[in-house]
Amino acid sequence: MIARTMAAALLATALTGVGAAAKPAAKPAKAAKAAAATRTTRPRNIILFLGDAGGIPTLNAGGLMAHDRPQALFIQSMPHIGLSDTSARNRWVTDSAAGMTAIMSGHKTDNGMVGMVPAATAGDAPVAVPSFMEIAQARGLSTGVVTNQPIWDATPAACYAHVPSRKDKDAIFAQMLAPRHGKGVDILIGRGLADANAAFARRGTTAATAFAQAGYRYGSDPALIAQAPRAAVLRDADYAPTPAVEATVRQLARNPKGYVLIVEWDMHTDDPMTGLRHVAELDAMIRRIRAVAGPDTLILFTADHSFGLRMTGGDRGTPLAAQYAAAAAKPGVTNATNPIIGVVDSHTGEEVLAAADGPGAEAVHGFFPNTRLYHVMVEAFGWVATQ
């Protein structure tokens, strides 16, 4: 049913034209009328914030840790929400590679694959599927990828690379600088500096030389972003997230055709306090960027998969972080057995939140597969699906 509605909407888009300036046909078909009634304006830009492993239990605990009151996160104020199935093509519990590939390409794939799906015939090589970001590049939009993880890791890589195995770091770096569409990603910020140096050394060059040859202003200081429309910031240390993303938005916004920005913020809670701190960090960033990006920007938040964190205790009226720390300090208490917040598994298979605000946000509602988010983004721009 969802697929049929989607097809009708895409067809309506094809009939009525593409882009913000499109005028409805004189006698629109029923489907076009319905589409026009639910969407009066299109976004110029789309920013997708991806909380890696940011399932609902993690968002809940992270919000309470930071604010000591329920539903205080900005994410929890976003007006349009849905629940996204994250299962991979071959497993009920996805990894980041298959999870982000589904969101970016509209195709479920096998765990470990980045921007590719298995061939229809067993034994044939996997097939590359275009990412939403590459389609945006082909259409002349500016693009950015920002992460607090290595820039070659599966989630950011699914924006720009196509490899059968997420472990193929060298191929991912090579494809980062050899885009299939347009000029590739304009702004790259992430960790993985030592990895980049090692990968390019194996090709007989240096990361600095390779990025410069590909037209990037290259370095480790996020301040570079304000200085050049094409910049790559690689480092191995953390950085202040919100100023870096704000500078990225201001730089990308110089393109009158618009931009697509993907921000990945890791919130795996193998180390519970770090993961939960990242929830508050990303949430504050989204709140700020919502204000900076302007009303013609569709803001999306989702997670690629959930994680085995459960909140099982805590009294109201006392800071939750202190209660957690006190419990953790008791002899024999582990991350798994902490009576306030326990982390007992790795990735888990339940649906994750998808939240949206801005033009096109109303398409996010109900239960849907993670591949739907690709179509939400394509439709928001008024583009016809290419696959």
Output 10 or 157, the one with its CB closest to Zn ion: 157
Residue 318 to residues 34, 276, 321, Cα–Cα distance (Å): 51, 18, 9
Task: Give the chain's end-to-end CA distance (angstroms, integer).
Answer: 18
Output 265 or 381, the one with its CB closest to Zn ion: 265
Q: What is the Cα–Cα distance from 175 to 40, expressed in whole angstroms?
A: 38
Q: What is the Cα–Cα distance from 46 to 366, expressed in whole angstroms?
A: 21
Query: Considering all CA atoms of the chain, what is the largest pairwise distance in Å, rounded to the nearest integer?
Result: 74
Check whether 153 is labelled as a binding-site residue.
Answer: yes
Output 96 or 109, the one with its CB closest to Zn ion: 96
Query: Does residue 153 interact with Zn ion by CB under 5 A?
Result: no
Q: What is the Cα–Cα distance from 373 to 354, expressed in whole angstroms?
A: 9
Q: Kind of pairing, strands 259-266 and 142-150?
A: parallel
Q: What is the Cα–Cα distance from 50 to 66, expressed in whole angstroms?
A: 19
Q: What is the Cα–Cα distance from 10 to 378, expressed in whole angstroms?
A: 9
Determine the residue type at 33. K
Shortest Å, Cβ 306 to Zn ion: 10
CB 265 within 8 A of CB 155: no
Output 52 or 134, the one with its CB closest to Zn ion: 52
Shortest Å, Cβ 280 to Zn ion: 19
- Provide the 8-state DSSP code for 383: P
Check whether 347 is labelled as a binding-site residue.
Answer: yes
Q: How many residues contact Zn ion, by CB under 5 A? A: 3
Shortest Å, Cβ 233 to Zn ion: 22
Check whether 271 is labelled as a binding-site residue.
Answer: no
Query: Does residue 379 interact with Zn ion by CB under 5 A?
Result: no
* Sole window of 34-42, 129-137, 238-246, 300-308 interacting with Zn ion (rule: CB under 5 A): 300-308
Residue 301 to residues 1, 50, 175, 364, Cα–Cα distance (Å): 24, 6, 26, 11
Determine the residue type at 59. L
Query: Does residue 306 interact with Zn ion by CB under 5 A?
Result: no
What element of type H or E holds 201?
Answer: helix 193-201
Query: Does residue 283 interact with Zn ion by CB under 5 A?
Result: no
Shortest Å, Cβ 30 to Zn ion: 40
Query: Does residue 149 interact with Zn ion by CB under 5 A?
Result: no
Shortest Å, Cβ 158 to Zn ion: 10
Output 167 or 365, the one with its CB closest to Zn ion: 167
In the complex, which residue's CB is closest to Zn ion? Answer: 96
Catalytic residues: 96
Q: Dihedral of CA 261/378/115/372: which sign? A: positive
Check whether 266 is labelled as a binding-site residue.
Answer: no
Residue numbers 49-68 binding Zn ion by CB under 5 A: 52
Query: Does residue 96 interact with Zn ion by CB under 5 A?
Result: yes
* Sole window of 40-48, 93-101, 318-326, 359-367 interacting with Zn ion (rule: CB under 5 A): 93-101
Output 96 or 175, the one with its CB closest to Zn ion: 96
Under the rule (CB under 5 A), what is the footprint of Zn ion?
52, 96, 304
Detail the residues annotated as belonging to a binding site: 52, 153, 155, 264, 268, 304-305, 347
Detail the residues annotated as belonging to a binding site for Zn(2+): 52, 268, 304-305, 347
